[in-house]
Amino acid sequence: GQQLNQSPQSMFIQEGEDVSMNCTSSSIFNTWLWYKQEPGEGPVLLIALYKAGELTSNGRLTAQFGITRKDSFLNISASIPSDVGIYFCAGQGEFGNMLTFGGGTRLMVKP
């Protein structure tokens, strides 16, 4: 079946630093999504990407849909303590609307 490899698994950074995480797949996706999960809560959609090569920003977050359609990355600039959480990538294939989730990147920010 489809698998998403998300890296890094965890990051411990200083406030103000930029963060980069990525997902790679063995299969092509038509949509890439990035979610954030805060402690004790459900994942919340941050950014959705619908076209290969697309670069989309949401405040300090920027995500790109890879040209090969097999990868995506998420950058967070000038991190702040409230960026703490688990970030999940998800890919949506051609048939139906099932999402395949990456294993998550746990981000910790030191003030």
Partner 1 sequence: DSGVTQTPKHLITATGQRVTLRCSPRSGDLSVYWYQQSLDQGLQFLIQYYNGEERAKGNILERFSAQQFPDLHSELNLSSLELGDSALYFCASSGGGRGGYTFGSGTRLTVV
- Total of residues contacting partner 1 (CB under 8 A): 24
Q: Whose CA is closest to 87, among 101, 99, 66?
A: 101
Is residue 89 within 8 A of residue 72, CB to CB? The reply is: yes
Q: With binding defined as CB under 8 A, does residue 48 bind partner 1?
A: yes
Selected from 30, 56, 62, 77, the binder of partner 1 by CB under 8 A is 30
Distance (Å, rounded) from C-alpha 23 to C-alpha 40?
24
Q: With binding defined as CB under 8 A, does residue 91 bind partner 1?
A: no
Q: Which is nearer to partner 1, 47 or 76 (CB)?
A: 47
Shortest gap between Cβ of 50 and partner 1 (angstroms)?
6
Shortest gap between Cβ of 78 and partner 1 (angstroms)?
26
Q: With binding defined as CB under 8 A, does residue 31 bind partner 1?
A: yes
Q: With binding defined as CB under 8 A, does residue 65 bind partner 1?
A: no
Q: Which residues are at the interface with partner 1 (CB under 8 A)?
A: 30-31, 33, 35, 40-45, 48, 50, 88, 90, 92, 96-99, 101-104, 106
